Amino acid sequence: MISTDSRSPDTWSLITSDVALTATCERWSVAGIIGIDTEFVRERTYYPCPALIQVADNHGVVIIDPLGISDFGPLKDVLIDPSILKLTHACDEDLEVLELLTGVTVCNVFDTQLAGAFAGYGFSLGYRNLVEVLLDVVLDKDETRSDWLKRPLSSSQLRYAALDVVYLLPMHERLSREMAALGRSAWFKEEFEHRRRARAVDKLPEAAYLRIRGRGALRPAERAVLRALCQWRETEAMARDIPRRHLLRDEVLLKLASDLVLDASSLGAIDGLSERKRTRYGQALLTCIGSARTETPTNTDDPVNLQPYAGQMKHWKEIARRAADAHNLPPELLANRRALEELLISVMKNQGSIPTTFQGWRFEIITETLLNGIQNSNG
Protein backbone atom coordinates (compact mmCIF):
# COMPACT_ATOMS: atom_id res chain seq x y z
CA MET A 1 0.00 0.00 0.00
CA ILE A 2 1.34 3.45 -0.94
CA SER A 3 0.44 6.29 1.38
CA THR A 4 -1.79 9.17 0.35
CA ASP A 5 -0.75 11.06 3.50
CA SER A 6 -0.70 14.84 3.14
CA ARG A 7 2.93 14.77 4.26
CA SER A 8 4.02 13.78 0.76
CA PRO A 9 7.72 13.02 0.19
CA ASP A 10 7.27 14.35 -3.35
CA THR A 11 7.10 17.91 -2.04
CA TRP A 12 9.93 19.53 -0.12
CA SER A 13 11.90 22.72 0.03
CA LEU A 14 15.67 22.88 -0.31
CA ILE A 15 17.65 25.34 1.79
CA THR A 16 21.03 26.47 0.46
CA SER A 17 21.53 29.83 2.17
CA ASP A 18 21.91 31.29 5.66
CA VAL A 19 18.94 33.60 5.11
CA ALA A 20 16.59 30.74 4.24
CA LEU A 21 17.85 28.66 7.17
CA THR A 22 17.28 31.49 9.64
CA ALA A 23 13.71 32.02 8.42
CA THR A 24 12.86 28.32 8.60
CA CYS A 25 14.40 27.90 12.06
CA GLU A 26 12.06 30.64 13.29
CA ARG A 27 9.19 28.40 12.21
CA TRP A 28 10.68 25.36 13.94
CA SER A 29 11.29 27.35 17.13
CA VAL A 30 7.53 27.38 17.79
CA ALA A 31 6.70 24.01 16.23
CA GLY A 32 7.06 22.03 19.45
CA ILE A 33 8.09 18.91 17.53
CA ILE A 34 10.24 18.14 14.47
CA GLY A 35 11.61 15.04 12.82
CA ILE A 36 15.28 15.13 11.87
CA ASP A 37 17.71 12.95 9.93
CA THR A 38 21.05 13.38 8.18
CA GLU A 39 22.94 12.03 5.21
CA PHE A 40 26.71 11.85 5.45
CA VAL A 41 29.80 10.16 4.05
CA ARG A 42 32.40 8.47 6.26
CA GLU A 43 34.59 6.29 4.08
CA ARG A 44 37.93 8.12 4.22
CA THR A 45 37.58 10.25 7.35
CA TYR A 46 37.37 9.79 11.11
CA TYR A 47 34.56 12.29 11.45
CA PRO A 48 31.42 12.07 9.31
CA CYS A 49 31.24 14.49 6.37
CA PRO A 50 27.74 16.08 6.56
CA ALA A 51 25.91 16.04 3.24
CA LEU A 52 22.24 16.78 4.06
CA ILE A 53 20.00 17.57 7.01
CA GLN A 54 16.32 16.68 6.61
CA VAL A 55 13.70 18.18 8.90
CA ALA A 56 9.97 17.49 8.99
CA ASP A 57 7.23 19.35 10.84
CA ASN A 58 3.49 19.66 10.38
CA HIS A 59 4.07 21.98 7.41
CA GLY A 60 6.16 19.52 5.43
CA VAL A 61 9.78 18.56 4.78
CA VAL A 62 12.76 20.89 4.51
CA ILE A 63 16.13 19.65 3.25
CA ILE A 64 19.18 21.67 4.30
CA ASP A 65 22.30 21.54 2.14
CA PRO A 66 25.08 22.11 4.71
CA LEU A 67 27.59 22.73 1.92
CA GLY A 68 25.84 26.03 1.26
CA ILE A 69 25.49 27.14 4.90
CA SER A 70 28.11 29.18 6.77
CA ASP A 71 26.11 30.03 9.93
CA PHE A 72 24.43 27.16 11.76
CA GLY A 73 23.59 29.34 14.77
CA PRO A 74 19.81 29.35 14.17
CA LEU A 75 19.77 25.56 13.83
CA LYS A 76 21.87 25.24 16.99
CA ASP A 77 19.26 27.23 18.91
CA VAL A 78 16.56 24.82 17.75
CA LEU A 79 18.58 21.73 18.65
CA ILE A 80 19.27 22.86 22.23
CA ASP A 81 15.76 24.18 22.87
CA PRO A 82 14.23 21.79 25.45
CA SER A 83 10.71 22.81 24.46
CA ILE A 84 11.16 21.26 20.99
CA LEU A 85 10.99 17.46 20.73
CA LYS A 86 13.38 16.09 18.09
CA LEU A 87 12.29 12.82 16.50
CA THR A 88 14.98 10.54 15.09
CA HIS A 89 15.47 6.92 14.13
CA ALA A 90 18.62 5.05 15.24
CA CYS A 91 20.01 8.40 16.21
CA ASP A 92 23.65 7.82 17.24
CA GLU A 93 25.35 8.89 14.02
CA ASP A 94 22.81 11.61 13.25
CA LEU A 95 23.41 13.23 16.63
CA GLU A 96 27.15 13.05 15.97
CA VAL A 97 26.73 14.82 12.62
CA LEU A 98 24.57 17.55 14.15
CA GLU A 99 27.02 18.04 17.01
CA LEU A 100 29.87 18.31 14.53
CA LEU A 101 28.04 20.99 12.54
CA THR A 102 26.71 23.06 15.44
CA GLY A 103 29.03 22.28 18.35
CA VAL A 104 26.13 21.44 20.68
CA THR A 105 24.52 18.31 22.06
CA VAL A 106 20.96 17.86 20.84
CA CYS A 107 18.47 17.78 23.72
CA ASN A 108 14.96 16.35 24.09
CA VAL A 109 15.38 13.50 21.61
CA PHE A 110 12.89 10.73 20.83
CA ASP A 111 14.31 7.71 18.99
CA THR A 112 11.59 5.80 17.14
CA GLN A 113 13.78 2.69 16.87
CA LEU A 114 14.15 2.45 20.65
CA ALA A 115 10.48 3.34 21.13
CA GLY A 116 9.54 0.57 18.71
CA ALA A 117 11.39 -1.94 20.89
CA PHE A 118 9.56 -0.80 24.03
CA ALA A 119 6.24 -0.93 22.18
CA GLY A 120 6.84 -4.56 21.25
CA TYR A 121 7.86 -4.29 17.59
CA GLY A 122 11.28 -5.90 17.85
CA PHE A 123 14.90 -4.92 18.41
CA SER A 124 16.82 -2.54 16.12
CA LEU A 125 14.07 -2.39 13.52
CA GLY A 126 15.10 -0.29 10.52
CA TYR A 127 13.21 2.86 9.59
CA ARG A 128 11.63 1.38 6.49
CA ASN A 129 10.54 -1.78 8.29
CA LEU A 130 9.01 0.19 11.15
CA VAL A 131 7.17 2.50 8.73
CA GLU A 132 5.70 -0.55 7.02
CA VAL A 133 4.70 -2.22 10.29
CA LEU A 134 3.16 0.88 11.86
CA LEU A 135 1.77 2.77 8.88
CA ASP A 136 1.37 0.11 6.18
CA VAL A 137 3.61 2.14 3.85
CA VAL A 138 6.24 0.47 1.66
CA LEU A 139 9.27 2.64 0.97
CA ASP A 140 11.79 2.14 -1.81
CA LYS A 141 15.57 1.85 -1.31
CA ASP A 142 16.78 3.28 -4.60
CA GLU A 143 19.37 5.70 -3.19
CA THR A 144 20.85 3.75 -0.29
CA ARG A 145 24.33 3.93 -1.84
CA SER A 146 24.19 7.48 -3.17
CA ASP A 147 27.16 9.84 -3.31
CA TRP A 148 25.56 12.43 -1.03
CA LEU A 149 28.42 14.91 -1.38
CA LYS A 150 28.12 15.15 -5.16
CA ARG A 151 26.37 18.26 -6.46
CA PRO A 152 23.87 18.85 -7.89
CA LEU A 153 21.69 16.31 -6.13
CA SER A 154 19.10 14.54 -8.24
CA SER A 155 15.38 14.74 -7.58
CA SER A 156 15.50 11.01 -6.78
CA GLN A 157 18.12 11.63 -4.08
CA LEU A 158 16.11 14.47 -2.58
CA ARG A 159 12.95 12.40 -2.56
CA TYR A 160 14.78 9.55 -0.81
CA ALA A 161 16.13 12.00 1.76
CA ALA A 162 12.65 13.40 2.37
CA LEU A 163 11.27 9.90 2.91
CA ASP A 164 13.64 9.44 5.83
CA VAL A 165 11.82 12.05 7.92
CA VAL A 166 8.33 12.39 6.51
CA TYR A 167 6.93 9.53 8.61
CA LEU A 168 8.67 10.32 11.90
CA LEU A 169 5.80 12.44 13.22
CA PRO A 170 3.02 9.89 12.64
CA MET A 171 5.24 7.10 14.00
CA HIS A 172 5.95 9.13 17.13
CA GLU A 173 2.25 9.73 17.65
CA ARG A 174 1.45 6.02 17.55
CA LEU A 175 4.49 4.81 19.50
CA SER A 176 3.96 7.38 22.25
CA ARG A 177 0.36 6.33 22.62
CA GLU A 178 1.23 2.62 22.74
CA MET A 179 4.11 3.05 25.21
CA ALA A 180 1.85 5.11 27.47
CA ALA A 181 -0.83 2.42 27.34
CA LEU A 182 1.80 -0.15 28.37
CA GLY A 183 3.12 2.08 31.15
CA ARG A 184 6.57 2.27 29.55
CA SER A 185 7.03 5.95 28.73
CA ALA A 186 9.28 6.45 31.76
CA TRP A 187 11.23 3.28 30.91
CA PHE A 188 11.91 4.64 27.44
CA LYS A 189 13.15 8.01 28.70
CA GLU A 190 15.35 6.37 31.31
CA GLU A 191 16.87 3.95 28.80
CA PHE A 192 17.57 6.70 26.28
CA GLU A 193 19.40 8.73 28.92
CA HIS A 194 21.37 5.68 30.03
CA ARG A 195 22.47 5.09 26.43
CA ARG A 196 23.34 8.74 25.96
CA ARG A 197 25.69 8.61 28.94
CA ALA A 198 27.18 5.32 27.76
CA ARG A 199 27.86 6.78 24.30
CA ALA A 200 29.67 9.73 25.85
CA VAL A 201 31.97 7.35 27.75
CA ASP A 202 32.50 5.09 24.73
CA LYS A 203 33.68 8.09 22.69
CA LEU A 204 36.57 8.82 25.07
CA PRO A 205 39.99 7.87 23.59
CA GLU A 206 40.86 5.90 26.73
CA ALA A 207 37.84 3.66 26.15
CA ALA A 208 38.79 2.82 22.55
CA TYR A 209 40.42 -0.52 23.50
CA LEU A 210 37.05 -1.87 24.66
CA ARG A 211 36.07 -2.18 20.97
CA ILE A 212 38.96 -4.58 20.22
CA ARG A 213 37.89 -8.19 19.84
CA GLY A 214 40.37 -10.67 21.27
CA ARG A 215 41.63 -8.44 24.07
CA GLY A 216 40.35 -10.91 26.68
CA ALA A 217 43.08 -13.39 25.72
CA LEU A 218 45.83 -10.96 26.74
CA ARG A 219 47.59 -10.91 30.12
CA PRO A 220 47.08 -7.81 32.32
CA ALA A 221 50.36 -6.16 31.28
CA GLU A 222 49.55 -6.80 27.62
CA ARG A 223 46.08 -5.36 27.99
CA ALA A 224 47.63 -2.24 29.51
CA VAL A 225 49.80 -1.89 26.39
CA LEU A 226 46.79 -2.45 24.13
CA ARG A 227 44.83 0.20 26.01
CA ALA A 228 47.66 2.71 25.51
CA LEU A 229 48.07 1.83 21.82
CA CYS A 230 44.34 2.20 21.16
CA GLN A 231 44.29 5.57 22.89
CA TRP A 232 47.26 6.71 20.78
CA ARG A 233 45.56 5.53 17.58
CA GLU A 234 42.27 7.20 18.50
CA THR A 235 43.93 10.53 19.27
CA GLU A 236 46.05 10.37 16.10
CA ALA A 237 43.06 9.43 13.91
CA MET A 238 41.03 12.32 15.35
CA ALA A 239 43.86 14.79 14.80
CA ARG A 240 44.40 13.71 11.20
CA ASP A 241 40.69 13.00 10.49
CA ILE A 242 41.31 9.57 9.00
CA PRO A 243 39.70 6.21 9.78
CA ARG A 244 41.34 4.17 12.53
CA ARG A 245 42.05 1.33 10.13
CA HIS A 246 44.05 3.67 7.89
CA LEU A 247 46.49 4.16 10.74
CA LEU A 248 46.78 0.62 12.07
CA ARG A 249 44.34 -2.26 12.02
CA ASP A 250 43.06 -3.88 15.20
CA GLU A 251 45.00 -7.09 14.63
CA VAL A 252 48.26 -5.12 14.40
CA LEU A 253 47.57 -3.46 17.75
CA LEU A 254 46.85 -6.86 19.32
CA LYS A 255 50.12 -8.20 17.92
CA LEU A 256 52.07 -5.20 19.21
CA ALA A 257 50.55 -5.67 22.65
CA SER A 258 51.20 -9.42 22.87
CA ASP A 259 54.69 -9.61 21.29
CA LEU A 260 57.91 -8.61 23.01
CA VAL A 261 58.50 -5.38 21.09
CA LEU A 262 61.63 -3.69 22.38
CA ASP A 263 63.10 -1.65 19.53
CA ALA A 264 62.72 -0.69 15.87
CA SER A 265 64.02 -4.07 14.68
CA SER A 266 61.30 -5.82 16.69
CA LEU A 267 58.66 -3.87 14.78
CA GLY A 268 59.80 -5.52 11.57
CA ALA A 269 58.50 -8.88 12.81
CA ILE A 270 54.93 -7.59 13.25
CA ASP A 271 52.64 -8.84 10.46
CA GLY A 272 50.65 -6.05 8.87
CA LEU A 273 53.04 -3.29 9.93
CA SER A 274 54.53 -2.14 6.62
CA GLU A 275 57.91 -0.49 6.28
CA ARG A 276 56.17 2.77 5.44
CA LYS A 277 54.12 2.65 8.64
CA ARG A 278 57.13 1.59 10.70
CA THR A 279 59.00 4.62 9.40
CA ARG A 280 56.10 6.97 10.08
CA TYR A 281 54.79 5.64 13.39
CA GLY A 282 57.59 3.43 14.72
CA GLN A 283 59.01 5.80 17.31
CA ALA A 284 55.56 6.83 18.55
CA LEU A 285 54.61 3.16 18.95
CA LEU A 286 57.78 2.28 20.81
CA THR A 287 57.33 5.25 23.14
CA CYS A 288 53.70 4.30 23.78
CA ILE A 289 54.57 0.64 24.48
CA GLY A 290 57.49 1.52 26.72
CA SER A 291 55.45 3.96 28.76
CA ALA A 292 52.59 1.47 29.22
CA ARG A 293 54.99 -1.21 30.45
CA THR A 294 56.32 1.01 33.21
CA GLU A 295 52.84 1.58 34.64
CA THR A 296 51.08 -0.77 37.04
CA PRO A 297 48.11 -2.46 35.31
CA THR A 298 44.74 -1.31 36.61
CA ASN A 299 41.72 -3.41 37.56
CA THR A 300 40.35 -2.83 34.06
CA ASP A 301 43.36 -4.72 32.68
CA ASP A 302 42.69 -7.86 34.73
CA PRO A 303 41.37 -10.67 32.53
CA VAL A 304 38.19 -12.33 33.74
CA ASN A 305 37.71 -15.99 32.91
CA LEU A 306 34.00 -16.56 32.52
CA GLN A 307 34.33 -20.14 31.25
CA PRO A 308 33.67 -21.69 34.70
CA TYR A 309 30.43 -19.72 34.78
CA ALA A 310 29.12 -20.94 31.42
CA GLY A 311 26.28 -22.78 33.14
CA GLN A 312 25.34 -19.67 35.11
CA MET A 313 25.32 -17.58 31.94
CA LYS A 314 23.12 -20.12 30.19
CA HIS A 315 20.72 -20.02 33.15
CA TRP A 316 20.65 -16.22 33.11
CA LYS A 317 19.98 -16.12 29.37
CA GLU A 318 16.98 -18.37 29.89
CA ILE A 319 15.73 -16.10 32.69
CA ALA A 320 16.14 -13.11 30.37
CA ARG A 321 14.31 -14.88 27.56
CA ARG A 322 11.35 -15.79 29.77
CA ALA A 323 11.15 -12.28 31.24
CA ALA A 324 11.33 -10.74 27.78
CA ASP A 325 8.54 -12.98 26.51
CA ALA A 326 6.39 -12.19 29.53
CA HIS A 327 6.70 -8.44 28.90
CA ASN A 328 6.72 -8.62 25.08
CA LEU A 329 10.17 -7.02 25.01
CA PRO A 330 13.13 -7.99 22.80
CA PRO A 331 15.62 -10.07 24.86
CA GLU A 332 18.43 -7.94 23.43
CA LEU A 333 16.86 -4.84 24.95
CA LEU A 334 16.16 -6.39 28.32
CA ALA A 335 19.53 -8.09 28.93
CA ASN A 336 22.02 -8.78 26.15
CA ARG A 337 25.11 -10.96 26.58
CA ARG A 338 27.48 -8.07 27.23
CA ALA A 339 25.22 -6.71 29.98
CA LEU A 340 24.86 -10.13 31.60
CA GLU A 341 28.64 -10.60 31.57
CA GLU A 342 29.08 -7.17 33.16
CA LEU A 343 26.67 -8.16 35.95
CA LEU A 344 28.38 -11.50 36.44
CA ILE A 345 31.83 -9.89 36.68
CA SER A 346 30.47 -7.42 39.21
CA VAL A 347 29.09 -10.26 41.32
CA MET A 348 32.31 -12.29 41.01
CA LYS A 349 34.46 -9.40 42.15
CA ASN A 350 32.09 -8.65 45.05
CA GLN A 351 32.00 -5.00 44.12
CA GLY A 352 28.80 -4.53 46.09
CA SER A 353 27.13 -2.44 43.43
CA ILE A 354 24.81 -3.31 40.58
CA PRO A 355 25.87 -2.05 37.13
CA THR A 356 23.82 0.93 35.96
CA THR A 357 22.33 -1.18 33.18
CA PHE A 358 20.48 -3.32 35.74
CA GLN A 359 19.21 -0.51 37.90
CA GLY A 360 16.11 1.55 37.15
CA TRP A 361 13.34 0.03 35.06
CA ARG A 362 15.07 -3.34 34.68
CA PHE A 363 15.45 -3.92 38.41
CA GLU A 364 12.01 -5.33 39.22
CA ILE A 365 11.61 -7.00 35.84
CA ILE A 366 14.80 -9.04 35.86
CA THR A 367 17.64 -7.90 38.16
CA GLU A 368 16.29 -9.37 41.39
CA THR A 369 15.54 -12.67 39.64
CA LEU A 370 19.03 -12.83 38.17
CA LEU A 371 20.69 -12.13 41.51
CA ASN A 372 18.52 -14.67 43.28
CA GLY A 373 19.46 -17.13 40.57
CA ILE A 374 23.17 -16.78 41.21
CA GLN A 375 22.69 -16.87 44.97
CA ASN A 376 20.70 -20.07 44.67
CA SER A 377 23.27 -21.63 42.39
CA ASN A 378 26.04 -20.75 44.82
CA GLY A 379 24.13 -21.90 47.87
Helices 127-135, 168-182: axis angle to 10 degrees equals 70
Residue 93 carries which DSSP code?
Answer: H
**Dist. CA 315–CA 344, nearest whole Å:** 12
**CA-closest candidate to residue 107, choices 66, 78, 127:** 78
C-beta of residue 343 within 8 angstroms of C-beta of residue 355: yes
The CB-based long-range contact list for 314-321 (8 Å cut-off, 24+ gap) reads: 315/373, 315/377, 316/340, 316/343, 316/344, 316/370, 316/373, 316/374, 319/366, 319/369, 319/370, 319/373, 320/366, 320/370
**Dist. CA 160–CA 206, nearest whole Å:** 38
DSSP string, 247-280: H--HHHHHHHHHS---SHHHHTTSTT--HHHHHH
C-beta of residue 38 within 8 angstroms of C-beta of residue 97: yes
What residues are annotated to the active site? 37, 39, 94, 160, 164
Amino acid in position 372:
N
